[in-house]
Amino acid sequence: MPRSTGIKRFAGMLMAGLFATLATSAQSDSVVTPGSKAAGMDTCVAPTAEMRRYHMEYLKHDRVETVRQGVRGLKNSLADCVDCHAAKDGNGGYLSINADGQFCDRCHNYMAVTLACFQCHRKTPADQDASSAKTSTGNQGHAFGLLLDRGESAALTAEERAQFQALVREE
């Protein structure tokens, strides 16, 4: 379990603020990889600010359920991250999502957080023709995110949200 020290937490807040600033001031400056499926969507399975902060918790939570209890097709799925966020390589294929400068790497690299998922997990969307039983069924799950206004991220405590919004407003 990563333990956060005050300084890390502070840095985290700062980063979140920075990203939020980017996201609010100019929509087109999104960190979402241009040309990926995600670029054409309104929002992720949760508001962007929340995803930035808690995606690992969400993934961890649902993975236990999937591996141990065989519950499949959950809202938070790493395979779906890859499906939406992987960039095309221009030859009909995909770039690895954890490759240098790609979606996962960019942030993890910047924050110096080890990205361990792809030591074992597939890094590109599944081939169309693969006889895989797991189907990624598109947008239904994202309805949750669509119901939200920006900044209405319920996973932050009230205090955190205030700080967060203050940071955003300062801009």
Partner 1 sequence: MSNKDDRPDMKRREFIGKTVLAAGAASVAPGVLLTVAKAGGESRGVSSDVRYGLLIDTNKCADDCTACVDACNRENGIDLVERPKGQSDDDWNAQRPQWIRKVQLKDKQTGEITNLPMMCQHCEFPPCVDVCPTGASFKRADGIVMVDRHTCIGCRYCMMACPYKARSFIHQNVAQQLVNAPRGKGCVESCNLCVHRIDAGDMTTACQEACEKDGHQAIVFGDLKDPDSKLAKLLKTKSSRQIRADLELNTGVRYTNV
Find the angle CA(76)-CA(157)-CA(62) to the nearest 5 degrees.
15
Buried/exposed code over 53-80 (b: 16+ C-beta within 10 A; e: otherwise) = bbbeebbeebbeeeeeeeeeebebbbeb
Of residues 49-108, those binding partner 1 (CB under 8 A): 50, 54, 57-58, 61-65, 67-75, 79
* Among the listed residues 8, 34, 111, 171, the single contact to partner 1 using CB under 8 A: 8
Report how far residue 11's alpha carbon sits from residue 149's, in angstroms, rounded to the nearest whole number.
Answer: 25
Nearest alpha-carbon partner for 50 in 169, 161, 168? 161
Q: To the nearest 10°, the Cα dihedral for 140, 143, 145, 147?
A: 180
Residue 132 CB, shortest distance to partner 1, in Å, is 6
Residue 47 CB, shortest distance to partner 1, in Å, is 7
Q: How many residues does the chain have?
A: 171
Residue 105 CB, shortest distance to partner 1, in Å, is 16
128 is a site residue for partner 1 (CB under 8 A): no
Identify which of residues 50 and 103 has a Cβ nearer to partner 1 in the complex: 50
Chain residues that interact with partner 1, rule: CB under 8 A:
1, 3-4, 6, 8-9, 12, 46-47, 50, 54, 57-58, 61-65, 67-75, 79, 119-123, 126, 130-134, 137, 140-141, 143-145, 147-148, 152-157
